[in-house]
Amino acid sequence: MGINYVSTRDLNKTEVKASEAILKGLADDGGLFVPTSVPKLDVALTDLAKMSYQQVAYEVLKLFLTDFTREELTNCINRAYDSKFDTEEIAPLTYADGAYFLELFHGSTIAFKDMALSILPHLMITSARKNNIKNDIVILTATSGDTGKAALAGFAGVEGTKIVVFYPKNGVSAIQEKQMVTQKGDNTHVVGIKGNFDQAQTGVKQMFSDKGLEAKLDGAGYQFSSANSINIGRLVPQIAYYVFAYTRLLAEEKIADGDLINVVVPTGNFGNILAAYYAKNMGLPIDKLICASNENKVLYDFFMTGEYDRNREFMLTNSPSMDILISSNLERLIYHIAGNDPAVNADLMASLRTTGKYQITKEMKDHLDSFFGGYTTEDETAQTIKNLYEKTGYIIDTHTAVAAHVYNQYKDKTGDDKPTVIASTASPFKFTRAVMGAIDPVYENEEDFVLVDKLSELGSVKVPNAIEEIRSAKVLHDTVVEVDDMCPEVLRFLGI
Ligand SMILES: *Cc1c(COP(=O)(O)O)cnc(C)c1O
């Protein structure tokens, strides 16, 4: 039996195949593709515990991407999870101060986005081939910092694709920006916008749903797709590492088969934690899904009250990849807790568009009892990095620190001491300035790469290749545009 995909807003529930959903990215009606049902894991956890990352990924992907052949999937997986990663384990677990940190930052751009974006280009090219697509695929991406570089690295030089990345000019870390603007590859284009991430994301979504633009592109031999976490081809590969983490704990006898664990995820667009939710629904023994926010705590408020309200000040924090007020993937959860009801979801999303907020019903809220929301202030985030370093010598990045602090809050509040996996979403080297400043304010006036070497020394970790590479790399992209000029800039790049 195959799994198909429907849009969260389509009253007719028109089904498309996985490959079609991956190619489209966003549904025509502006909704997101969701699976018609969530498949159950069909291999015993104890057997998965004996498998490599690549093999576990296959066992998960085959259940969701049912129109791909075994050969197609293994090809995609082997091209993605190879020596681009600096460890054979791909996603190792590190125990520190009572929790297991699932290090998702060993790929080419040292953030967790690599876990999905190293495979997405292969899934997309395979999908294009399966569906006899002749057009070149143009990837449009809005980034809060990490998606951009990971998508550029994934798509650079991939034949039949072009990629345009929009980032908030003043809303990413210095190292994130340098990583993007030094990107090589004729098929890549990086554009700063005079606005924030939400504006970048809204601009991209508008281009996706512009029928006139679609026709114009088609005439020139192009079609858009998305590398943002709204693409189901990003979400599915993320489910794999939760299954992998659980089965590693099992292999190391930290837990017994069937024991429940908790998962803590530092959250922005709600993609990573949604993948954990799907993993739980596949039968992986996860108890609580702990959703950690920074001072942009729109999700914390949502879990407390059932009201999602983006009408508030947008904060720039030291965890910029979570500086988001419109968490796109929450729409998928809303659809599911409404009983897979596109009408209810479409109404709420219309309300979000027009009033900036919506309220879910009591019945829907009752379906959220496996979620726990928490948030941290900037000071708490910094203090968490410092405390963990002083106690254990382990250095975590600012995003992971948001999660670690919320986990401590959760334990204090509930006394729940189940084994817990914290998604460690970025290498501390990606946010060196904020991390070193948290450890000791004396570092605040040092230059970025001096801090990089200092961090390597303090943490006894080698400077990752991704950072070494940009030390002396040339800036190749310096375009900055107004929010209103995003679309003309895309057309200019494509020569239309
Ligand atoms: C993207 C990102 C997040 C947020 O992930 P979502 O899937 O958008 O919730 C957290 N931390 C880092 C380092 C990221 O790059």
The pLDDT tens digits of the residues spanning 100-118 come to 999 999 999 999 999 999 9
**Residue to mutate, 112, 317, 318, 330, ligand 1, most ligand atoms under 8 Å from C-beta:** 112
Q: Kindly tell me if the per-residue pLDDT of 228 is higher than 90.
A: no
Average pLDDT over residues 363-381: 98
**328 CA to centre of ligand 1 in angstroms:** 12
Q: Kindly tell me if the per-residue pLDDT of 8 is higher than 90.
A: yes
Q: Is 229 in the pocket of ligand 1 (CB under 6 A)?
A: yes
Q: Residue 230 — pLDDT band, cuts 50, 70, 90?
A: confident
Cα-flanking dihedrals φ and ψ of residue 293, to 5°?
-115, 160
Provide the pLDDT for residue 485. 97
- Calpha distance 119→141 (Å, rounded): 16
Cα-flanking dihedrals φ and ψ of residue 6, to 5°?
-125, 155
> Across the strands, what pairs with 415?
none
Q: Is 238 in the pocket of ligand 1 (CB under 6 A)?
A: no
Q: Is 270 in the pocket of ligand 1 (CB under 6 A)?
A: yes
Q: Residue 343 — pLDDT band, cuts 50, 70, 90?
A: very high
The pLDDT mean for the chain works out to 96
User: Nearest Cα to 242, choosing from 59, 85, 474?
Assistant: 59
Average pLDDT over residues 370-398: 98
Provide the pLDDT for residue 373. 98
Q: Kindly tell me if the per-residue pLDDT of 63 is higher than 90.
A: yes
Average pLDDT over residues 353-362: 97
The percent of residues in the chain predicted with pLDDT above 70, rounded, is 100
The pLDDT tens digits of the residues spanning 436-455 come to 999 999 998 898 899 999 99
Q: Kindly tell me if the per-residue pLDDT of 308 is higher than 80.
A: yes
**207 CA to centre of ligand 1 in angstroms:** 23
Q: Is 267 in the pocket of ligand 1 (CB under 6 A)?
A: yes
Average pLDDT over residues 203-215: 93
Catalytic residue among 17, 24, 113, 430: 113
Q: Among positive and negative, which fits the CA dihedral 210, 234, 272, 148?
A: negative
Provide the pLDDT for residue 271. 96
Q: Residue 173 — pLDDT band, cuts 50, 70, 90?
A: confident
Average pLDDT over residues 326-351: 97
Average pLDDT over residues 48-56: 98
Q: Between the CA atoms of 124, 130, 131 and 136, what dihedral angle is there, to the nearest 10 degrees?
A: 40
User: What is the spatial order of strands in the sheet that 420-424 belongs to?
Assistant: 93-96, 99-103, 420-424, 261-266, 286-293, 371-375
Closest ligand 1 atom to Cα of 267: 9
Q: Is 201 in the pocket of ligand 1 (CB under 6 A)?
A: no
Provide the pLDDT for residue 145. 80
| The CATH classification of domain 93-111+233-462, taken from the options 3.40.50.1100, 3.40.50.10860, 3.40.50.720, 3.40.50.300 | 3.40.50.1100
**174 CA to centre of ligand 1 in angstroms:** 17
Which residues contact residue 335 at a Cβ distance below 8 angstroms, ignoring those fewer than 6 apart? Answer: 8, 32, 34, 341, 342, 345
Which residues contact residue 322 at a Cβ distance below 8 angstroms, ignoring those fewer than 6 apart? Answer: 144, 266, 267, 268, 293, 294, 296, 399, 402
**156 CA to centre of ligand 1 in angstroms:** 22
Average pLDDT over residues 336-365: 98
Tell me whether residue 162 is one of the annotated catalytic residues.
Answer: no
**Residue to mutate, 425, 429, 430, 431, ligand 1, most ligand atoms under 8 Å from C-beta:** 425
**290 CA to centre of ligand 1 in angstroms:** 14
pTM comes to 0.94
Provide the pLDDT for residue 444. 81
The pLDDT tens digits of the residues spanning 413-424 come to 999 999 999 999
Provide the pLDDT for residue 180. 95
